[in-house]
Amino acid sequence: MKSNNNKSAAMLKFDNEQVSVHSVVTKYQGFFKMNEYLLQHQLFSGEQSQVFTREIFERGDAVVVMPYDAQQDKILLIEQFRPGAIRGDDSPWLLEFIAGMFDENETPIEVAIREAKEETDLTLSSENLIPIMEYLSSPGGMSERIHLYLAHIDSEQISDGAIYGLPEENEDILLHLVSRNRAMELLSQGKITNAATIIGLQWLALNYQSLSGQDSSTK
């Protein structure tokens, strides 16, 4: 293993300028796409890497919305079937937040508003939505970027146990309105295994006390 005693070495030294994409070949095109990249990039030593291939799952970017009533300290979780969870020993019905992919020419805010209506019948506006962060789901093999938002809501307008979703998209979504403490219990018990939901709840655990004054939901 190479060592470097330079303790002042810069972090995130490189950007796209230090990557050469020699070719991109689509290996599969269905609901999602798989591309094969032929790549080369600069090494930390200053030399160039070998030319190598990587298959990248191109599923598009997505928006995740965490609905939270700061006044009542309640969170809206949704439950739905996820085929990617079949291989595990636990249930493939997951507890999640509202989420969806981009349609053509949509902004993240527009996706958030559309998906909230389709999945939970919540009517949101841009004033209700607070950006939390953007992150890469699994950048070793997937290009997806997640846009995570907090949505200020009025939990009194939500029917706990209601069922929503678009039949034409095979959606069957059950609503669970829970206290923040109950959501954190589910998280600590391993009942919430969806990455975006875990990240959102951990962010909320750090920031919930500062949110009551920001609540812009319609009462």
Report CA-CA distances (Å) from 70 to 74, 105, 155, 156, 188: 7, 32, 9, 12, 21
Report CA-CA distances (Å) from 189 to 113, 182, 183, 202: 31, 10, 10, 14
Q: Three-state SS across the chain?
A: CCCCCCCCCCCCCCCHHHEEEEEEEEEEECCCEEEEEEEEEECCCCCECCCEEEEEEECCCEEEEEEEECCCCEEEEEEEECHHHCCCCCCCEEEECEEEECCCCCCHHHHHHHHHHHHHCCCCCHHHEEEEEEEECCCCCECCEEEEEEEECCHHHCCCCCEECCHHHCCCEEEEEEEHHHHHHHHHCCCCCCHHHHHHHHHHHHHHHHCHHHCCCCC
Closest CA to 173 of 91, 87, 99, 85: 99
Q: List active site positions.
A: 169
